[in-house]
């Protein structure tokens, strides 16, 4: 029997041992435990100064005037949408290839998401398609640095300026990514990070809103943090007796974890970077297509995905099955395309927006470029500890599958 025969065709798997520990995330140690215990021993779990300290850490690291902690990234995005003035009937352009929280919170304000194409190099918003979708009702666009890859900010910021649009960055995947030496999350009118447990600077649950705009900060603070609202110097302070019916404040224990993890962000990102860059180089040589950040930008690796080339005889599901037969942990992408989801295609989005009449019909056949790209994506694990030997095993398995792709395709029925 040939030692090169893929396992899916009866060969011996390349990876014979479990490697779950190499993917473990988040990584906690005594520093995180000490940070949490310090808050517990102080006894104030609601208004502990650790939350303000976390905000100070973000302000200093990202070079912005204001940082406001939230209970989660979804609430921070809601606050951002409200703070830039989105209201009933306003349109906000957003990618379909993203997590739902990049778009759905805008519905609660009566705003209407307009889904635009993603481009194939960085997987971010396609500036050409964005410009085609701008109408007199467009007020903002949401830039998502998907998987840690900066979007094409030169073009997106320029077109926003031309059309008088606000730019909201969903940088939830992009702690540590940069564009022209500036940190992602601090490039638009307002930026948001999720600190959910899988993110690069996790707090368990949490979100951070960043802005240089005093009015944006005041609007966000008055939405749901009564104590911050009391401190505002301007007219928003008059709402401190009620805020606006939502509580957004982050829990102090989450803030303690968030501070500890942010302090080690660069260390953790460097390990991911070394592993993933080696993986990308080897898998690209084997025939997969890697995503590339725009010029003068640096990505981080929240996730690492590849595209199958148009001439690859394997569909994505069969490729995943073949890799996993080798003992790998490869999967299809996690996020479904938003414009194809029943909330939008069945018109239920207006249950949230509550507009007098729906202003948009969502066609699941729209966005052919994004849809075609999504069908070619395969997701590899990110190794969070030094794991170059393991990376090399994944490269070997990938090369084996690609060499035998025609045979695998001929003998393997499509995987549902």
In the block, tokens 């104030």 appear at: 44
Encode pLDDT of 90-114 as tens digits: 999 999 999 999 999 999 999 999 9
Residue 3: pLDDT band with limits 50, 70, 90: confident
300 contacts 273 by C-beta, under 8 angstroms: yes
In the chain, the domains with their CATH numbers are 30-263 (3.40.640.10)
Considering only CA atoms, which of 338, 341, 361, 364 is closest in space to residue 350?
361
Encode pLDDT of 233-262 as tens digits: 989 999 989 989 899 999 999 999 999 999
At residue 160, the 3 state secondary structure works out as helix
Encode pLDDT of 304-341 as tens digits: 999 999 999 999 999 999 999 999 999 999 999 999 99
The strand pair at 166-170 and 190-194 is best described as parallel
At residue 125, the 3 state secondary structure works out as strand
Mean pLDDT of the residues in the chain? 96
Distances (CA, A) of 311 to 96, 127, 323, 412, 414: 25, 27, 19, 17, 16
| pLDDT of 2 above 70 | no
Distances (CA, A) of 50 to 246, 260, 401: 22, 11, 50
Check whether the bond before 26 is cis (ω within 30° of 0): yes
């Amino acid at each position: 029997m040939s030692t090169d025969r893929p396992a899916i065709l009866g060969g011996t798997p390349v990876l014979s041992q479990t490697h779950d520990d190499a993917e473990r995330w988040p990584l906690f140690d005594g520093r995180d435990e000490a940070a949490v215990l310090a808050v517990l021993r102080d006894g104030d779990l609601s208004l502990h100064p650790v939350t303000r300290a976390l905000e100070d850490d973000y302000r200093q690291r990202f070079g912005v005037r204001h940082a406001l902690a939230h209970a989660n990234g979804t609430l921070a995005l809601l606050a951002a949408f409200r703070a830039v003035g989105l209201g009933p009937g306003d349109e906000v352009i957003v990618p379909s290839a993203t997590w739902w929280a990049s778009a759905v919170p805008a519905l609660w304000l009566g705003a209407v998401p307009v889904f635009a194409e993603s481009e194939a190099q960085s997987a971010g918003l396609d500036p050409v398609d964005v410009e085609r979708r701008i109408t007199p009702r467009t007020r903002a666009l949401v830039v998502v640095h998907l998987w840690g890859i900066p979007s094409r900010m030169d073009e997106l910021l320029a077109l926003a300026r031309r059309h008088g649009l606000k730019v909201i960055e969903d940088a939830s995947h992009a702690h540590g990514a940069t564009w022209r030496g500036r940190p992602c999350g601090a490039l638009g009118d307002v930026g948001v990070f999720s600190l959910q447990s899988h993110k690069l600077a996790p707090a368990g649950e949490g979100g951070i809103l960043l802005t240089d705009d005093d009015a944006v900060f005041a609007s966000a603070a008055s939405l749901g943090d009564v104590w911050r609202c009391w401190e505002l110097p301007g007219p928003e302070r008059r709402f401190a007796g009620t805020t606006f019916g939502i509580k957004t404040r982050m829990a102090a224990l989450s803030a303690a974890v968030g501070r500890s993890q942010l302090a080690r962000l660069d260390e953790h990102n460097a390990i991911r970077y070394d592993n993933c860059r080696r993986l990308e180089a080897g898998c690209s040589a084997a025939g997969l297509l890697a995503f590339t950040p725009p010029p003068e930008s640096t990505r981080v690796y929240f996730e690492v995905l590849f595209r199958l080339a148009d001439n690859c005889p394997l569909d994505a599901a069969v490729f995943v099955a073949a890799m996993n037969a080798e003992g790998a942990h490869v999967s299809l992408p996690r996020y479904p395309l938003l414009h194809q989801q029943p909330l939008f295609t069945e018109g239920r989005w207006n249950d949230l927006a509550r507009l007098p009449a729906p202003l948009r019909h969502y066609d699941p056949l729209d966005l052919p470029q994004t849809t075609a790209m999504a069908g070619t994506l395969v997701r590899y694990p990110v190794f969070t500890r030094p794991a170059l030997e393991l990376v090399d095993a994944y490269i070997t398995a990938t090369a084996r599958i690609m060499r035998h792709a025609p045979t695998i395709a001929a003998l393997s029925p499509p995987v549902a």
